[in-house]
């Protein structure tokens, strides 16, 4: 982390110093439980809790300074050392922006550079971020988000993990409205921007898909003339963004788009569902083959995006291909495969869900499940606005047309999915509705058999990822009877 004194923090954030000016935090946290010796605790107001209520706990764990919106007194009646600001989250952003500026200046003074890569899209951000970070880490100190830190809090927390030795800073950017990505881009000033796709996730919040496209394109608008814009030419809305940037545009395609500079030639998937293709990069470097260890053909686009960004950052083609071929999923609950000892295979892809990723996961289930009994355990796709019933209905229809053996729909918010599957011809025990994950757990525990392949997919807050974890555990052994007859 870049070292800031309390006095500097107050100046950068336009806050009021209520602490020893020389206090210099060693880390930044927004969760009091994560505070350690020397932490700066940011007391932000959340949807369900107010961080100011946990200031004392943060100091008990070792925090030495709080960035807060009001003073908080300890048990002795004395205020905890603080920098007081109007908005703690915006103050975090200002501090992160200054950290990036200082890292750039320090590296430039040493004749080197910091390369910042921003990644956005309605799906695939975290996988692409993980792949890209895996490539870059072999060439220099690389900082990338933990999990899916991609918003106005997560991006600063990622920045605060970087220091003057950081060569590559990979930033995942999410948004729920117009202007959000512009705010994040202004904070980190990316050199390379990657736009993966424009889907219907959060369509309700944005007010339509076109507004989602407008928001994602803000990343490309923020790039400098010397930057590089990586765009998915297989998505028409993303392809149209080339007119919104001054940067050099590099397009990628998994579908043979003629204008692409980075493409997958002869794409295929192996028996395990892993994408394979010949990687074509600008300059036509020959004999680059990628045999990925990720699951699902839909990851081909993510692999190409990571390859294009790494190439733009100066990484040689053979090293890009070798790294992409060696990496497994780095973040949890994203097509995460578990083989149970009894022969049941679990694919847990329930970190998030939208219509595009739901369709891709179901196609992968169908492809992998030939000759096996397949289960789709599905929950709601949230934040779709007025399109929610239509999109859930379409997924239910798709499950039946893909000949998925069994469908378990969990939760009332996904009931339209269940109804559409029944109407499409999935009857009897082929399609079951469960009110709760616990109810689904009892059903699956009783009916799964060796050889079954089970997919879990839902939006994050539905919680099916935890159900998938429970089912992935091997079943408890049957207690020995010691020769006694069972009733």
Domains by residue range for the chain, with CATH: 6-86 (3.40.1390.10), 90-326 (3.40.1190.10), 336-472 (3.90.190.20)
Predicted confidence band at 208 (pLDDT cuts at 50, 70, 90)? confident
Distance CA(375)–CA(432), nearest Å, equals: 11
The residues near 335 (Cβ < 8 Å, ≥ 6 apart) are 294, 295, 296, 299, 329, 347, 348, 349, 361, 364
- Whole-number CA gyration radius for the chain: 24
For the segment 170-186, the average pLDDT, to the nearest whole number, is 95
Please give the residue that has the higher pLDDT: either 302 or 481: 302
Look at 80-84, 89-93, 146-150, 418-422 and tell me which has the smallest mean pLDDT. Answer: 146-150
- The pLDDT tens digits of the residues spanning 375-399 come to 999 999 998 888 899 999 999 999 9
Instruction: For residue 457, list its beta bridge partners.
Output: 378
Predicted confidence band at 203 (pLDDT cuts at 50, 70, 90)? low
pLDDT beyond 80 at 285: no
Cα end-to-end distance, the chain, whole Å: 66
What pTM does this model have? 0.88
Which pLDDT belongs to residue 477? 60
pLDDT beyond 60 at 56: yes
Cα angle 63-102-195, degrees, rounded to a multiple of 5: 95
Joined together, the tokens standing for residue 37 give 């010796």
Are the C-beta atoms of residues 131 and 334 closer than 8 Å to each other?
no
For the segment 191-212, the average pLDDT, to the nearest whole number, is 83
Which pLDDT belongs to residue 480? 47
Which pLDDT belongs to residue 176? 84
């Amino acid at each position: 982390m870049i070292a800031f004194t309390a006095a500097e923090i107050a100046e950068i954030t336009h806050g009021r110093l209520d602490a020893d000016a020389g206090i210099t935090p060693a880390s930044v946290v927004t969760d009091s439980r994560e505070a350690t010796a020397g932490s700066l605790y940011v007391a932000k107001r959340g949807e369900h809790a107010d961080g100011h209520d946990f200031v004392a706990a943060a100091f008990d764990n070792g925090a030495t300074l709080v960035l807060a919106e009001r003073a908080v007194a300890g048990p002795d009646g004395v205020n905890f050392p603080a920098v007081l600001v109007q908005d703690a989250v915006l103050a975090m952003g200002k501090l992160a922006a200054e950290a990036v500026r200082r890292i750039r200046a320090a590296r430039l003074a040493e004749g080197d550079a910091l390369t910042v890569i921003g990644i956005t899209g309605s799906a695939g951000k975290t996988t692409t971020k993980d792949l890209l970070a895996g490539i870059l880490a072999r060439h220099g100190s690389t900082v990338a988000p933990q999990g899916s830190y991609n918003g106005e809090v997560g991006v600063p927390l990622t920045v605060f993990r970087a220091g003057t030795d950081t060569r590559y800073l990979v930033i995942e950017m999410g948004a729920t409205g117009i202007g959000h990505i512009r705010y994040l881009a202004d904070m980190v000033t990316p050199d390379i921007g990657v736009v993966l796709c424009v889907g219907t996730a959060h369509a309700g919040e944005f007010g339509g898909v076109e507004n989602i496209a407008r928001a994602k394109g803000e990343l490309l608008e923020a790039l400098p003339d010397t930057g590089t814009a990586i765009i998915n030419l297989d998505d028409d809305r993303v392809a149209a963004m080339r007119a919104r940037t001054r940067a050099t545009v590099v397009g990628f395609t998994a579908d043979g788009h003629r204008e692409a500079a980075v493409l997958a030639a002869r794409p295929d998937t192996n028996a395990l569902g892993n994408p394979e293709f010949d990687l074509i990069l600008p300059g036509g470097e020959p004999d680059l083959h990628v045999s990925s260890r990720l699951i699902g053909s839909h990851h081909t686009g993510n692999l190409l995006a990571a390859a294009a960004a790494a190439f733009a950052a100066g990484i040689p083609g053979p090293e890009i291909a070798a790294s992409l071929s060696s990496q497994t999923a780095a973040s949890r609950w994203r097509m995460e495969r578990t083989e149970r000892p009894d022969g049941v295979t679990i694919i847990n892809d329930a970190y998030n869900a939208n219509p595009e990723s739901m369709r891709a996961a179901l196609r992968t289930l169908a492809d992998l499940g030939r000759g096996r009994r397949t289960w789709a355990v599905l929950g709601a796709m949230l934040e779709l606005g007025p399109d929610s019933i239509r999109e859930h209905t379409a997924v239910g229809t798709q499950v039946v047309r893909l000949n998925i053996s069994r469908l378990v729909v969990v939760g009332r918010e996904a009931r339209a999915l269940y109804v559409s599957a029944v109407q499409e011809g999935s009857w009897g025990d082929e399609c079951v509705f469960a009110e709760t994950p616990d109810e689904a757990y009892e059903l699956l525990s009783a009916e799964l058999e060796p050889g079954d392949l089970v997919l879990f997919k839902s939006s994050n807050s539905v919680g099916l990822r935890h159900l998938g974890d429970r089912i992935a555990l091997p079943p408890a052994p049957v207690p020995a009877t010691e020769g006694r007859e069972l009733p």
